[in-house]
Amino acid sequence: MKATINGKKRDIPAVWWENGKVAAIDQTLLPEKVRIARFSNHKQVAEAIKKMIIRGAPTIGAAAAYGIALAATNGKNLEKAAKMLRQTRPTAHDLFYGIDWMLSHKDDPVESAKKYADKLVERCRKIGENGEKLIRNNSKILTHCNAGALATVDFGTALAPMRIAKRKGRKFFVFVDETRPRLQGANLTSWELKEEGIDHAIIADNAAGHYLKSEIDLVIIGADRISRNGDSANKIGSYEKAVVAKENGVPFYIAAPITTFDPSIASGDAIPIEERDQSEVLMIGKQSIGPKGAKALNPAFDVTPAKYITGFITEYGILKPSQIGKTRK
């Protein structure tokens, strides 16, 4: 992804190997500052994952793989390093996947970690190439949350088609849902698009419907988990946008690698919805909203039934919801 560092535009991933160290964009400082953090041992990497300096499930998986590579080059016990890294963020599936990959590819740990990250990026690049055809000159696109390069080492999922279309010279406009409660749209997606030179505006999540009725001609978002029938769990608010998009005849696409499809789940009803702490709603940074003692409900995800989804942009092409059950990892 493009990132301006000390006034210079560079093209860097979210995490990478550099001169025997692991380097990563410090995501806690975005969008105010772009600072590269560097780690010389796996403990520092574990700490960075815990503190969300490194975030986004696929990026965390790659960082953990690089962490194991650091342990190997430092002559440390890999099983012990793996144990420490596993304890950083207990719910991110990619974290365990990345660590397990390293433990079964020990011959050249640095090369293995690079390969792991490269594969991830390659998948996203293909999603971008498969999806970019949907974007025409003057397209007006809606996206929600951050399914961007920061979360997937590079390119992103929902943002990958936009990156590729932009690099091919197409001109289009992106409406970026600010994405309350955690504001990933305003803080991360807007930053990625700005660095990429893609014209866009942040909108309150409430304004998406108004623009779906009047201007938007394409929706692309990411997904956290997709069931066998195509029902898709994604950031809270995705369901609303999907319903309003369909009502207005606006195509609604989900961009996700095939690893996001979970063939063990028959339909969205079986996807559990995480209820997160109410402070995410009641506090915006240091700003408190609501009266003293106010209560909030804070579901982190919602499920969009397959009938609202036009297609899935994957590394293997654009699939219809009816094709999902037939696809295996």
**Which residues are designated catalytic?**
224
Interhelix angle 78-86/57-73, nearest 10 degrees: 150
243 touches its own copies (CB under 8 A): yes
Q: Which is nearer to its own copies, 187 or 267 (CB)?
A: 187
294 touches its own copies (CB under 8 A): yes
Residue with tokens 């932009």: 166
8 touches its own copies (CB under 8 A): no
273 touches its own copies (CB under 8 A): yes
How many chain residues interact with its own copies (CB under 8 A)?
55
Prior bond to 181 cis, omega within 30? yes
Give the integer Cα–Cα distance in Å for 263 and 244. 28
Q: What are the residues facing 233 on neighbouring strands?
A: 225, 303
| Other beta carbons within 10 Å of 194 | 14
Q: Write out the E strands in 158-277.
A: 173-177, 200-203, 218-221, 225-226, 232-235, 252-255
Q: How far is the CB of 305 from its own copies (least distance, A)?
A: 9
196 touches its own copies (CB under 8 A): no
What mask, x for binding its own copies by CB under 8 A, covers residues 157 to 186?
------------------x-xxxxx-x--x
Q: How far is the CB of 58 from its own copies (least distance, A)?
A: 23
Stretch that binds its own copies, among 71-79, 103-111, 162-170, 241-249 (CB under 8 A): 241-249
251 touches its own copies (CB under 8 A): no
Give one DSSP letter per residue of 153-169, joined into a string. Answer: SSS-STHHHHHHHHHTT
Residue 146: which of 79, 56, 63, 227 has the closest Cα? 56
Q: Applying CB under 8 A, which residues contact its own copies?
A: 30-32, 175, 177-181, 183, 186-187, 190-191, 194, 200-211, 213, 235-237, 239-240, 243-244, 247, 273, 281-282, 284-287, 289-299, 302
